[in-house]
Chains A and B, each alone.
Chain A
């Protein structure tokens, strides 16, 4: 018989899959360590998972009480800090063979803790969550270093400005507060209520899910969604770019083909080229990764095969990218596995080789 012609290999485009790190439970996100040797992931089972990015061996760091809700790295490239939904804040030397917390405190906040940030000089941590308070902690021993009150809804995101003079905190109701760290008071409020909806006077939907600074601190990035409904939460992912000096919006990043099922822009990572890598996750079966150069009217690249994305991390080599995705879930009803057990959800951290030379010019 004549041999069948070889199936043409599909060009993977700018994101060529190197490794799919499948996990049998949910992950909230994963980031490459600044030393480049590890990928550290937030488990929903109170564990931090650490993959060696050469051997892909996996180990777990155990000292948390609830879902991991934040991981940041110290500028010394050796220490890592993590926080969970129950408010436990831990300090680690993440590269040790069997890391144990250098210090740990379980009393940071009442209620769900949602955000963690570290100052550029590595001296301070900021935490926040459902109790609407922003608290500061010393990175050296976890001692309290101040707190800011004034939010009117749960705080979902935090970021220090690159000059270390300001902390920004984003809340559910679409307000970003700029805290003056020297004066220890609020300097201004920035309205990003596009990211918030209060349908039927019942639910507060949306919020500022991500804050970061790019362009040497000249631009504040606010990410989330334009919520359309409650319940199912139909929402269009959006990233707002704000001029840090004036607080005015300079650009709204939202692709023309976006739908209300595409959900939230959960994470934004800058690439040295100036592009932003944006991870969006939506209704089960939806999601998109955008690579977008600010100033351009449309994404330079959009990948709609990546679904339910939570975070996107760039390796220090500037080439490898990790996208964390959660599974679709079982949907309604009694879907069970062959053993008759409940079909729970899962996750995957997918590591890609990013070829920026394949990222095209914006379309549309």
Chain B
């Protein structure tokens, strides 16, 4: 299975968040939309999983430098392609955008979901590091069934 990673960087906007986002967002938004449209038009989206994510969110309010600091309590992941329901929105934050108020998911849930979408058994165990058993996905988590077809 081919895995391709594309990185968009300079999103660590601890200063001047809004002006920087005016530069960053179009540079991501337009190519990302074009990628999804091209994959859909060619039919490749039926057997390709596209995941857009970051490692944490940003503080809901700005700091003294008009920036946003790290906020690991709530953020979002966008996904499209094989095995996924279209237009599904799962989970939400409270009205302040500070904490998850409904259907929290962590990265273990995401790995289960991605492997299910790709037809890989997420409960499979690999043996790595001199034979150490390593589950493909966190055994305490489950796939996010609402977004799987």
Contact = CB atoms under 8 A, between A and B. Distances in A.
Interface of A: 26, 112, 130, 154, 172, 200, 202-205, 207, 230-235, 263-264, 281-285, 287, 307-308, 326-334, 341-342, 344-345
B96 A342 contact: yes
B19 A329 contact: no
Given A202-B27, A231-B10, A285 B64 contact: yes
Given A154-B19, A154-B22, A345 B64 contact: yes
Contacts of B18: 112
Interface residues of B, number: 32
A328 B62 CA distance: 9
A329 B10 CA distance: 21
Main SS of chain A's interface residues?
Answer: loop
Contact of B61 (A26, A204, A233): A26
Given A231-B13, A285-B64, A329 B20 contact: no
B13 to A, nearest CB: 6
7 contacts: A26-B61, A203-B23, A205-B19, A283-B64, A326-B62, A328-B63, A342-B99
Nearest to B14: A232
A338 to B, nearest CB: 16
7 closest A-B pairs (Cβ-Cβ)? A329-B63, A233-B15, A308-B64, A332-B70, A342-B98, A344-B61, A284-B64
Nearest to B73: A334
B99 A204 contact: no
Given A112-B22, A333-B72, A342-B98, A203 B10 contact: yes
Contacts, number: 108
Contacts of A345: 61-64
Contacts of B13: 231, 233
B60 interface: yes
Nearest to A231: B12
A26 B67 CA distance: 13
Interface string B69-102: 1111100000000000000000000001011000
Given A202-B10, A204-B19, A342-B96, A332 B64 contact: no
A233 B63 contact: no
Contacts of A334: 72-73
Contact of B20 (A26, A203, A328, A333): A203
Contacts of A330: 59, 61, 63, 69
Interface string B45-75: 0000000000000011111111101111100
B65 A263 contact: yes
Select the residue from A172, A200, A329 with max chain B CB neighbours within 10 A.
A329
B24 interface: yes
B77 to A, nearest CB: 20
B89 to A, nearest CB: 23
B98 A207 contact: no
B3 interface: no
Contacts of A26: 61-62
A330 B15 CA distance: 14
A232 B64 contact: no
A204 B23 contact: yes
A234 B14 CA distance: 10
B25 to A, nearest CB: 11
Contacts of B24: 202-203
B16 A307 contact: no
Nearest to A333: B70
A130 B22 contact: yes
Interface in B1-15: 9-15
B113 to A, nearest CB: 26
A230 B65 CA distance: 13
Given A284-B64, A330-B59, 8 more contacts: A172-B19, A172-B22, A233-B15, A283-B14, A285-B64, A287-B64, A326-B62, A330-B63
B9 A202 contact: yes
A231 B63 contact: no
Given A232-B15, A233-B15, A326-B64, A331 B9 contact: no
Select the residue from A130, A282, A330, A332 with max chain B CB neighbours within 10 A.
A332
Nearest to A334: B73
A281 B64 contact: yes
Nearest to B11: A231
A83 to B, nearest CB: 16
Nearest to A172: B19
Contact of A331 (B15, B23, B63, B72): B63
Contacts of A341: 98
Contacts of B10: 200, 202-203, 230-231
Nearest to B99: A342
